Amino acid sequence: MLEWRRRREPSTLMLWLSPLIAIGLTMLLGMIVFTAMGYNGFHAVESIFVTPFLEPQRWPDLGVKAAPLVMIALGLAIGFRANVWNIGAEGQYIMGAIAGTGVALVTHEMTGWWILPAMALAGVLGGMAWAAVPAFLRVRLQVSEILTSLMLTYVAVQALYYLVRGPWKDPDGFNFPQTRMFGADQTLPAMMEGSLVHLGIPAALLIALVAWLLMEKTTAGYAVKVVGLAPAAARHGGFSADRVTWATLLASGGLAGLAGLFEAAGPFGQLTPQFPTGYGFTAIIVAFLGRLNPLGIVFGGIVLAATYVGGEIAQTTVRLPQAATGMFQALLLFVLLATDVLVKYRISWRVRVA
């Protein structure tokens, strides 16, 4: 029979192996579910998880989708480490894009190298401002940041709708609800001829490295972890939980805002009602798949990017509906949380002696 024994120490091997096991199990489960729904399950899973990696022409797209996911997830993960549950990254992402777009619209007849940095700064500040509300409410009034950050996401979506249908509507846009296209100096330069690959990709990698150094090599990173693992010990050690809450929420808001700006000034080139794509929520899965570790998150971001790219492939190869991507991503998170049991428990077969 199966025997469960709690490990004295969580298994480090399993900590890193379980995401891989989870991916394998998700592929298997996905095959079963999609076959049961009447699709070609094998080809569906192949299209989603294998094809994006095998075809080099898909790689730029993988990078473009992974960059915002990684950037947002890095911020979230630092917060999750400290038990700060910012789940409104989607709203901060939208606000970042809105703030950056504001700069782009004000400067639309200007040129200059300084415009993009100014937009990026506005993006970071926009995201931070949106995250500052839950931070303030949690630190000063003990209001759960989970609910407030999420509620603000819905507010941000409506603010976006309001702007693109109202004051920011393109005057030459045939009444379509969208802003004018950004000019050359307001758009991220393409890094590869004829592709969407933009500055966001190296930026995401650089931020991951900085986040890793910050979390593993500095006292600030240590403070975040202690506050999350042992709040009482943190108090005795002189680490301020309030300061950690502020710092992690501002950091994750700022990163989400920057990701939003990159998306607006990169692949979109304007703001439209279709702008919110749910990256802020998918990034939660990325953070967990990456074990809340900045380098693991780069890996997690690429895997989740593959589900987007592969989901599009599967729409043509096996006529899988677009919604399948979302279900697949959530399935991955479920399986991952389930395989966590391997980290905490040693499970073995034992023949019962009569």
Q: Which residues bind another protein (CB under 8 A)?
A: 6, 85, 87, 133, 137, 141-144, 146-148, 150-152, 154-155, 158-159, 161-162, 165-166, 281-282, 284-285, 288, 321, 323-331, 333-334, 337-338, 340-341, 344
Long-range contacts of 334-337 (CB under 8 A, 24+ apart): 335/22, 335/25, 335/26, 335/29, 336/18, 336/19, 336/22, 336/285, 336/288, 336/289, 337/288
Task: Say which amino acid occupies 68.
Answer: P
215 in Cβ contact with 221 (< 8 Å) = yes
Give the position of tokens 């401002």.
129
Shortest distance (Å) from residue 2 CB to another protein: 12
> How many residues are present in the chain?
354
Question: Between residues 202 and 321, which has the closer beta carbon with respect to another protein?
Answer: 321
Shortest distance (Å) from residue 79 CB to another protein: 12
Question: Between residues 78 and 188, which has the closer beta carbon with respect to another protein?
Answer: 78
Q: What is the DSSP letter of 307?
A: H
Question: Between residues 112 and 321, which has the closer beta carbon with respect to another protein?
Answer: 321
Shortest distance (Å) from residue 292 CB to another protein: 10
The vertex-346 CA angle with 345 and 352, nearest 5°, equals 120
Question: Between residues 63 and 88, which has the closer beta carbon with respect to another protein?
Answer: 88
Question: Between residues 133 and 309, which has the closer beta carbon with respect to another protein?
Answer: 133
Alpha-carbon distance 239 to 243, whole Å?
A: 8
Question: Between residues 234 and 283, which has the closer beta carbon with respect to another protein?
Answer: 283
Shortest distance (Å) from residue 225 CB to another protein: 16
Question: Between residues 38 and 171, which has the closer beta carbon with respect to another protein?
Answer: 38
Give the residue among 40, 104, 131, 132 at the shortest CA–CA distance from 263: 104
Shortest distance (Å) from residue 60 CB to another protein: 26
Instruction: Determine which helix (DSSP H) or strand (DSSP E) holds 346, and give its type and residue range.
Output: strand 345-349
Question: Between residues 240 and 315, which has the closer beta carbon with respect to another protein?
Answer: 315
Shortest distance (Å) from residue 301 CB to another protein: 16
Alpha-carbon distance 257 to 245, whole Å?
A: 18
Shortest distance (Å) from residue 282 CB to another protein: 8
Shortest distance (Å) from residue 267 CB to another protein: 22
Shortest distance (Å) from residue 104 CB to another protein: 21
Question: Between residues 15 and 327, which has the closer beta carbon with respect to another protein?
Answer: 327
Residue 4's DSSP bridge partners are 347
Q: Mind giving me the DSSP string for 114-173? A: THHHHHHHHHHHHHHHHHHHHHHHHHHH---HHHHHHHHHHHHHHHHHHHHHTTTS-TTS
Q: Give residues with Cβ within 8 angstroms of 213, minimum separation 6.
A: none
Q: What are phi and psi of 202, to 5 degrees?
A: -60, -35
Alpha-carbon distance 188 to 199, whole Å?
A: 7
- Round to the nearest angstrom and report the end-to-end CA distance of the chain: 12
Residue 349's DSSP bridge partners are 2
Q: Give residues with Cβ within 8 angstroms of 58, minimum separation 6.
A: 51, 52, 309, 313
Question: Between residues 49 and 288, which has the closer beta carbon with respect to another protein?
Answer: 288
Shortest distance (Å) from residue 105 CB to another protein: 18
